[in-house]
Chain A
């Protein structure tokens, strides 16, 4: 069985005092807690759901569940890992309810969609202050194309592979933590990563081809 990842309070983790106050029911501390991890959780949810509105719905559910569950949070896992678990399950619930996996066509001026319909994973609602996913004016010519190809390849992956590659390669979790989040053995994470990386590397190579 997978051992619970050891609590980590490194630079990426929120302080114990914030967690303690949040556990005591301090909603301001709770908000600080989830805001600390929010970008990473948004990344996971958006890569899984492919739609900003769905991402928001899933994270609303996840954060409300997290708040209710905080008094029972034993600290066996780092808070971030724990929040990843809740978010992942909220996303799976969302996918089940919707009976779907892939998102709609690409947003943005050079959209074009993808056969799998998952192109929105590379774009969607652009963050304020960030260039749009596609067609960004100041980017090198190949960058946007590469993003589209990568986004399509990511969208075409099964959800379990997609989650594994997002958690490990994009978000930097180690295999043990990713395994704990997804509820599988570390070896399974490795297998999923192997396949996901093969597909994504192929997409990257395609995007870099003149």
Chain B
């Protein structure tokens, strides 16, 4: 509520301010007075304009004041309610697992929901030859032009055109071709820069740039925007493809080449239901038709619809690849004169040994990863609190370790953070989305069992999260459920820890 509002769009703001705001109903203030804890003071109606006039002052009866509850207390209670539900759920699941183990012995074979895989209880993924496609070689650089990103149709036109360039290490550049928006992430430095408006024709309303340092290689602690074609539904499609799920089919996408001619790309295609964002109401999309480039893991097209009505649609064209990476593409500086906001995401590149020395809990590292994946990034956030989950309701956490493995364009990320004394909910939780979260209870070597849930449900990034002793763990990426569980189950304390 600062009187200095340089970031305001005056035109839109003036129009919005012109929309009327209804008054409260006639009993609002009286109802509120009746609901406030009754204490030693009286609730009086403040003086105000005629339109603000409320009911007469109310003398609150004397009585014991309700004990004040802090905002943190409210949050704790709320999390406790959530946690209680979760723990009851997990308790039932644990009991069920115990029965299965008792019945089948310690070397039981658990068959996940994913097709084409079976995973031994010892945590070694045993892929079958059928179902898992070979991981295609990723180009050093992938570029494409996108139309339809905004998805808002109107008489003033629809959408800006955007150009995406993606490097093999996850660095990206995302630029609107009208020069009003630009975004770059350099994985080698962990620096993320977003320029909201810049270049010719820039709006004076928001000449802003945002520089985020210490940006980790994977979620859920990436507190900056990412391009739509790198959205989490791409990970979902890749996960189903890896699992040989019949809902995803291999196809050839006919996209435009760099010179406008046809270009055919090996792709994976998903055409099916997605979670409907309840905050979006009945008009929110509940279906997606997504095509993902096999070599880059990038969405080539995404059409989201509800009841057969298309809500948003974007599509790639002018696709090109390169066998070399131009690092300068991923370095972006705010334009001269831009108002720049710097945000410290807090993650610093470390070695495993260094990470183990940085955190007060055992550094847990997967003993088994899917074939072809190698550890590419380890970073630690020691000081900057990270809040995760729906509404950011999880406790602010420090001393977070983020580790990312990569196999060509396919990646997954493991994060660790101290549990503390508070309740936790899914760090990937999002407002309005209620995914099919399946309880897991995984025995770890030399550790308390990892209890949590696994989610492979569009449009959310596939993930597993849980708590083992004093550590909150997430495993997320383009992996099927069995692979997520296998990675989590193989977590071991790093020797230097």
**Interface pair B21/A102, CB less than 8 Å apart:** no
Which of B152-160, B165-173, B447-455, B456-464 forms contacts with chain A?
B152-160
From B339, which residue of chain A is reached at the shortest CB distance? Answer: A175
Q: Shortest beta-carbon distance, A167 to chain B, in Å?
A: 10
Query: Residues 70-100 of chain A: 1 if any B CB is under 8 Å from the residue's CB, otherwise 0?
Result: 1111000010110000100100100110011
**Interface check A210, CB cutoff 8 A:** no
Q: Shortest beta-carbon distance, B209 to chain A, in Å?
A: 9
Dominant SS at the B interface?
loop
**Interface pair A194/B8, CB less than 8 Å apart:** no
Number of B residues with CB within 8 Å of any CB on chain A: 94
**Interface check A198, CB cutoff 8 A:** yes
Contacts of A124 in B (CB 8 A): 20, 22
Contacts of B392 in A (CB 8 A): 183
**Interface check B341, CB cutoff 8 A:** yes
Give the complex CA separation of A143 and B105 in angstroms.
Answer: 75
**Interface pair B1/A27, CB less than 8 Å apart:** no
**Interface check A64, CB cutoff 8 A:** yes
Contacts of B40 in A (CB 8 A): 25
**Interface pair B152/A202, CB less than 8 Å apart:** yes
**Interface check A1, CB cutoff 8 A:** yes
Which of B67-75, B244-252, B480-488 forms contacts with chain A?
B67-75
Q: Shortest beta-carbon distance, B233 to chain A, in Å?
A: 16
Q: Shortest beta-carbon distance, A114 to chain B, in Å?
A: 10
Q: Shortest beta-carbon distance, B206 to chain A, in Å?
A: 7
From A121, which residue of chain B is reached at the shortest CB distance? Answer: B19
**Interface check A187, CB cutoff 8 A:** yes
**Interface check B119, CB cutoff 8 A:** no
Q: Shortest beta-carbon distance, B176 to chain A, in Å?
A: 9
**Interface pair A25/B194, CB less than 8 Å apart:** no
Q: Shortest beta-carbon distance, A115 to chain B, in Å?
A: 8
**Interface check B353, CB cutoff 8 A:** no
Q: Shortest beta-carbon distance, A83 to chain B, in Å?
A: 10
Q: Shortest beta-carbon distance, A101 to chain B, in Å?
A: 3
**Interface pair B68/A70, CB less than 8 Å apart:** yes
**Interface check B106, CB cutoff 8 A:** no
Q: Shortest beta-carbon distance, A86 to chain B, in Å?
A: 8
Give the complex CA separation of A125 and B42 in angstroms.
Answer: 30
**Interface check B407, CB cutoff 8 A:** no
Number of A residues with CB within 8 Å of any CB on chain B: 111
Knowing A1-B385, A35-B46, say if A128 contacts B51 (CB, 8 Å). Answer: yes
Q: Shortest beta-carbon distance, A129 to chain B, in Å?
A: 5
Contacts of A42 in B (CB 8 A): 21-24
Partner of A204, one of B11, B73, B181, B194: B11
A153-176 residues at the B interface, CB under 8 angstroms = 153-154, 156, 158-160, 165-166, 168-176
A124-152 residues at the B interface, CB under 8 angstroms = 124-133, 143, 146-147, 150-151
28 A–B pairs (Cβ distance < 8 Å), ordered by A: A1-B346, A28-B46, A31-B29, A31-B33, A42-B21, A46-B22, A59-B28, A72-B69, A89-B391, A101-B280, A117-B283, A124-B20, A127-B21, A150-B16, A158-B280, A159-B279, A168-B7, A168-B13, A170-B17, A172-B5, A173-B1, A177-B2, A186-B341, A191-B225, A194-B180, A197-B12, A198-B152, A205-B154
* 7 nearest CB pairs, A to B: A202-B154, A72-B70, A101-B281, A169-B13, A170-B16, A125-B22, A187-B210
Could you list which residues of chain B lie within 8 angstroms of chain A, going by C-beta atoms?
1-9, 11-13, 15-25, 28-29, 31-33, 35-37, 39-46, 48, 50-52, 60, 65-66, 68-74, 150, 152-157, 180-181, 192, 194, 196, 206, 208, 210, 212, 223-225, 277-284, 341, 343-346, 384-387, 391-392, 396, 431-432
Could you list which residues of chain A lie within 8 angstroms of chain B, going by C-beta atoms?
1-2, 8, 10-13, 25-28, 30-32, 35, 38-40, 42-43, 46-47, 52-53, 55-56, 59-60, 63-65, 67-73, 78, 80-81, 86, 89, 92, 95-96, 99-102, 115-117, 121-133, 143, 146-147, 150-151, 153-154, 156, 158-160, 165-166, 168-177, 183-188, 190-191, 193-195, 197-206, 209
